[in-house]
Each structure stands twice: as C-alpha cells, then as structure tokens.
Amino acid sequence: MQSAPHAIRLEPFKVACANCNLRELCLPVGMSVTQMDQLDAIVANRRTVPRGEALYRAGDGFASLFAVRTGFFKTCVSSEDGRDQVTGFQMGGELLGLDGIGTDRHTCDAVALEDANVCVIPYHQLEGLARELSDLQRQFHRIMSREIVRDHGVMLLLGSMRAEERLAAFLLNLTQRLRARGFSGSSLILRMTREEIGSYLGLKLETVSRAFSRFQDDGMLEVRQRHIEILDAPALQKLVNGSSC
Amino acid sequence: MQSAPHAIRLEPFKVACANCNLRELCLPVGMSVTQMDQLDAIVANRRTVPRGEALYRAGDGFASLFAVRTGFFKTCVSSEDGRDQVTGFQMGGELLGLDGIGTDRHTCDAVALEDANVCVIPYHQLEGLARELSDLQRQFHRIMSREIVRDHGVMLLLGSMRAEERLAAFLLNLTQRLRARGFSGSSLILRMTREEIGSYLGLKLETVSRAFSRFQDDGMLEVRQRHIEILDAPALQKLVNGSSC
DNA sequence: CGCGAGCTTGATGCCGATCAATGCATGTGG
DNA sequence: CCACATGCATTGATCGGCATCAAGCTCGCG
C-alpha cells in the first residue's frame, strides 16, 4: 500500500514462496522449505491487475485463489437492485477468491485499487497438496476461519457502532495490518475513495468526510486528502471501545 | 450408545450419518456410504444443550466443531464495552464452531434458543480424515466458503438496507432454510426474541416490532407473538429487491 | 488554463433510536 | 384459584444522527 508501484510493472522472474517477504502472512505460514517448494510448484503463475480493473467478478467461474503480492484490492458484493457493498480491502499476503469455493462461481468482484500483482493458486491443485501437507491444510483452514471471524467483526461494527466509531475502528485495523507489513502505522495513504470507505462502513461519503474533519479538529488525525497522519491512536482506540457517554 | 463415563444426557442410541435425515445438508454431502462410516467413526459423541445455555463461549478453547441435529442456536460476538451482535442463527444440519479454527479459541458464543442436540466433531480428527477423503475435504471447504458468502450478504443487509427490507430479507432467508428441511415455509414459529432479531439486523427491538406490525397491516404477514404466517411472500421479496422509489 | 473526479462543508429532513406506558402470556406462591 | 411477578411484545411521543440535497473547493491532468 505504501510503496510506489510504478517502478516495475511486471515481475520478470518468479519469486519463490521461500524467498517472498510476505510468506509469514500468507499461505506458507508454518511450512518447511521443502514444503514451500511443493507449494511453489503449483503456484506457477503470476498475474498483474492494473488499477481499476477486476481480478474477477461476481458470476465468473471459480478455478483459483489469489494471493496479493503487491497492490491493494477491494471486494464488493451487489444485490439485484444495484445496491453495492464493499466487503473488504486486501493487501499483501492476503488471499482473494475464497468466496468462490462454495458454488464454483465467484460471488463478489475483486477490484485493484492500485496496480497489483497476485500469485495464482489453482484451487484443485491446492486441495490435492493440502491432503499431503497437513501444515498447509492447517494454515488454509486458519485463513478461512479468520476471514469468518473478521466478517463477524464487521457485522458488529455495522450493527452497533456509530459513524465515528466505525471510522476509528477502520483506521486502527488498517494501521495494524500495515504495521504487520513493516510500515510505520502512524502515517498512511488511503488507496480508496471516501465513497468506498463509506460503502465498507455502511455510511455515506459525506459522513465519512465529516468524521475525518472532526477527528482532525479534535487533534487525533491530520488529514490531507488521502494522506492520513495518526496523531493520537489511543484516542481512536478509546472511541472504538468505551466511549459510551 | 458409547460408554461415556461423564454421560450426563447422551443420546441413548447413535444415529449414523448414513441414516441421518440431515445428511444432505451437512458434512456428508457427496460422500459414499463407506466414507460416511469413516466419518461416523470420529463423530462418536453427541451433546445436548438445554435452552438458554451455551454450547461454547468466546474465549473457550477450540477442539471440536458441532453439527446441529435438533434445536436452534444463535451465535453472538461482543466487544469489550459490552456491545453485542448476533452473527447468525443455526438450525439442523448447520455447523457451529468454525470461528475457533483460526486461533484455537472460540471468538463468539453459541447459545441454544431451544433444547438442542449436536454431533461433536473432533476437529483434529476431521482434519486427518479430510486428508484421506477428498469428498469430505471438498464439502468442508464449501461449507466454510458459504459461511463467508453468507456473512457478506449480512454485511450488504446491514450496510445498505432499511429496517423493513432487513426484516423481509431475514424472514425469507428463514423460510427458505426451513423449506430445505421439509417445513412448509409459509408458517413458522420464531425461536428468537424481537431483541435477538434486532441485534442480528442492526435494529432495536421496537423497530422490529413496528416492522412486523406494518407487514401485518399491509396484509403480508399474520403475526401472533412468535407465530408468523406468510401471506404474501412475493411482496416481501419485492421489498428486498427493487422497492426503491 | 479549464475540466472533472473526488473531497469538504452547510442546510434540511427523515428514519430509526430512545423513553415511556400498556398489553399479554407464563409461571409461582399464598 | 387468584394475586402478583416476570419476561416479552406492542404502541405512542419525542429526539438525534445520519442521509440527502446543494454549493464550493482542491488537485491532477489533458
């Protein structure tokens, strides 16, 4: 999310899982080098996705999962009548496509918010390998389970938090994930618009903008367009939790 | 019956997966009889949960998944400051406990809304068996994926629907699942309170009650306490979708 | 430079929360 | 059996937070 993606558009050579700096956040967690080599053997392909384009769309046939190597994605579902809901933002090391396993079709769109590069993981082969490597199986199950738990957290947010609490929770979640990837966590550049944030949080873009302004007035943030400086993380944290009354 | 030493209220006899009337909605989907026998071997235990009691609670260690045989559950997460969110309602054939895989601890409470009976599926053994039986592996992955997709649908509901639309969607979802289990689908008894429905839908109980009343006034439902008669399902469906304007 | 996408800010209105009273079913003990 | 308590549901009155509508503003870019 932080780096300038325009230096190299296409990886000319393959980076093995064992050499990938995201391996501690991705599928290979807990695997030995020889196991990673086996995983590498099925993750033969890369794919670049230019900013604004879809990695897949709802209705597309499902064949592979994708691991984000560089770049930033959003996933969104939409109902018949055109209502739209962003269901998540994905960064390096996170898996995309889990929604497709259940019905062999994708049920949401995955759109790159900046030029991106993903590892293509043919699902059928992954299943086969997971039957041989219990470490891989375990990690895969953990990732799915954590996605479910994350979704439950979003439900809590959407069902019972107020606008500013939602935005605070969102920012803290983002910074935490960035910190896990070696970024500062107090200074970040949003890859998504106010409208996309609003869709994720169940708010209108004006409300998101107002909340940003209010946080700035209260000295918790410095906001310059999409560049956010977190000045008082504990205050944000307090908003998310015990702010009532 | 298993000679369980600590058997408080165990089923007097075991019903094999192959004979269970829920097998087409549960883990054994797509498995042969001999495969189901192998599954039976690890699903040796049953557990009864009286109404109002928890099958597990957030923070409990995770060891097993549970398949609902009879009865009705809710799952709910809560934040530090006591906010509470119902994340789902589970009925016969549905799995409980998937949230625990990611961290080896449960992250939500599962509470029986009526006296219930569940199959205990030791997770470690399930993993082992899934490595042998690709059909089991596939179905397990499908169930997890569908849970993720379901959660995305709830996010859409919470993020972008209005009160009556949410309740309509909720009722239609319930009736559809009941129909899949051989019930009429037009007449149902709610197992949960207005408050629990409200928590699930991100509404207050008064709002839920008012929406029920309004549906009744409009001739779409007949509401007598928890007994609901669906008089005009298409009208409900229309509310969920293209009601805008 | 002028255009347009995205962002900010203000004014107003509505949906659902909140507060409060009543109704209704079930259960308990006198 | 009734009196009473309790939990849940309904309904009304009022209030507040966020949506909506409507201008401007900022910045990148052709």
- Beta-sheet pairing, B84-90 with B227-230: unpaired
Phi and psi at residue A48, to the nearest 5°? -100, 145
Supply the pLDDT for residue B3. Answer: 45
Supply the pLDDT for residue A7. Answer: 43
The rounded distance, in Å, linking the Cα atoms of B83 and B29 is: 37
Give A18→chain B minimum CA distance, Å.
23
The rounded distance, in Å, linking the Cα atoms of B138 and B135 is: 5
The rounded distance, in Å, linking the Cα atoms of B88 and B99 is: 12
Q: Do domains A9-154 and A162-242 have the same CATH topology?
A: no
Q: Are B235 and B164 in contact (CB under 8 A)?
A: no
Nearest residue on chain A to B124, judged by CA atoms? A138
Q: Which residues pair with B46 in a beta bridge?
A: B119
Give the CATH class of A9-154. mainly beta
Give A163→chain B minimum CA distance, Å.
12
Helices (H) and strands (E) in chain B, counts: 7, 9
Q: Are B40 and B16 in contact (CB under 8 A)?
A: yes
Contacts of B127 in chain A (CB under 8 A): 134, 137-138, 141
Contacts of A80 in chain B (CB under 8 A): 241-242
DSSP letters, B107-121, are: -SEEEEEEEEEEEEE
Q: Are A103 and A58 in contact (CB under 8 A)?
A: no
Supply the pLDDT for residue B243. Answer: 54
Q: Are B85 and B198 in contact (CB under 8 A)?
A: no
The rounded distance, in Å, linking the Cα atoms of A132 and A134 is: 6
The rounded distance, in Å, linking the Cα atoms of B190 and B205 is: 14
User: Strand C positions with any atom < 7 Å from protein CB?
Assistant: 6-11, 15-20, 25
B202 touches strand C (CB under 7 A): yes
B88-136: pLDDT as tens digits: 999 999 999 999 999 999 999 999 999 999 999 999 999 999 999 999 9
Mean pLDDT of chain A: 93
Q: How far apart are the first and last CA of chain B?
A: 60
CA of A192 to C1' of C2 (A): 26
A98-144: pLDDT as tens digits: 999 999 999 999 999 999 999 999 999 999 999 999 999 999 999 99
Q: How many residues does chain A have?
A: 245
A71 DSSP assignment: E
Inform me whether the C-beta atom of residue B145 falls under 8 Å from chain A C-beta atoms: yes
Inform me whether the C-beta atom of residue A149 falls under 8 Å from chain B C-beta atoms: yes
Helix, strand, or coil (residue B49): strand
Give B13→chain A minimum CA distance, Å.
32
The rounded distance, in Å, linking the Cα atoms of A89 and A192 is: 9
**B1 or A205: whose pLDDT is higher?**
A205
Phi and psi at residue A162, to the nearest 5°? -95, 170
Q: Which two tokens stand for residue B178?
A: 């009941």
Q: How far is CA B206 from CA A128, A160, B121, in A?
A: 51, 15, 39
Instruction: Please report how the helices B163-180 and B205-217 are oriented relative to each other, as an axis angle in degrees rounded to 10.
Output: 80
* Nearest Cα residue to A156 out of B48, B222, B159: B159
Of all residues in chain A, what percent are helix, strand and coil, respectively (each to 5)? 40, 25, 35
The rounded distance, in Å, linking the Cα atoms of A107 and B178 is: 23
Inform me whether the C-beta atom of residue B146 falls under 8 Å from chain A C-beta atoms: yes
Q: Which residues pair with B48 in a beta bridge?
A: B117
**Residue A47 pLDDT exceeds 80:** yes
Q: Name the amino acid, one letter, at B26.
A: C
Q: Are A192 and A162 in contact (CB under 8 A)?
A: no
CA atoms within 13 A on the CB side of A159: 32
B143-167: pLDDT as tens digits: 999 999 999 999 999 999 999 999 9
Lowest mean pLDDT among A153-162, A171-180, B5-14: B5-14
B158-195: pLDDT as tens digits: 999 999 999 999 999 999 999 999 998 899 999 999 99
The rounded distance, in Å, linking the Cα atoms of B243 and B237 is: 9
Q: Compute CA A172 distance to the chain's CA centroid, rounded to the nearest angstrom.
A: 14
Nearest residue on chain A to B202, judged by CA atoms? A159
Q: How many residues does chain B have?
A: 245
CATH T-level topology, domain B162-242: Arc Repressor Mutant, subunit A (1.10.10)
Q: Do A84 and B160 touch (CB under 8 A)?
A: yes
Question: Residue A85: which of B146, B155, B242 has the nearest Cβ?
Answer: B155
The rounded distance, in Å, linking the Cα atoms of A14 and B37 is: 44
The overall longest dimension of chain A from CA atoms, in Å, is 56
Supply the pLDDT for residue B237. Answer: 96
Q: Which two tokens stand for residue A85?
A: 């809901």
Supply the pLDDT for residue B2. Answer: 45
User: Strand D positions with any atom < 7 Å from protein CB?
Assistant: 8-13, 17-22, 27
**Residue B25 pLDDT exceeds 70:** yes
Strand order in the sheet with A227-230: A187-189, A227-230, A221-224
Number of A to B CB contacts under 8 A, please give it: 164
A205 touches strand C (CB under 7 A): yes
Q: Which residues contact B37 (CB under 8 A, 6 or more apart)?
A: B16, B17, B18
Q: How far apart are the first and last CA of chain A?
A: 36
Q: Which two tokens stand for residue A127?
A: 């299943």
Nearest residue on chain A to B128, judged by CA atoms? A134
The full set of domain ranges for chain A reads 9-154, 162-242
Using the C1' atom of nucleotide C17, identify the protein residue whose alpha carbon is closest.
B204
The rounded distance, in Å, linking the Cα atoms of B206 and B195 is: 8
Angle at A32 between CA A140 and CA A128, to 5 degrees: 45
The rounded distance, in Å, linking the Cα atoms of B127 and B114 is: 30
Q: Are A92 and A118 in contact (CB under 8 A)?
A: no
Question: Residue B131: which of A85, A134, A146 has the nearest Cβ?
Answer: A134
The rounded distance, in Å, linking the Cα atoms of B119 and B45 is: 6
Give A175→chain B minimum CA distance, Å.
19
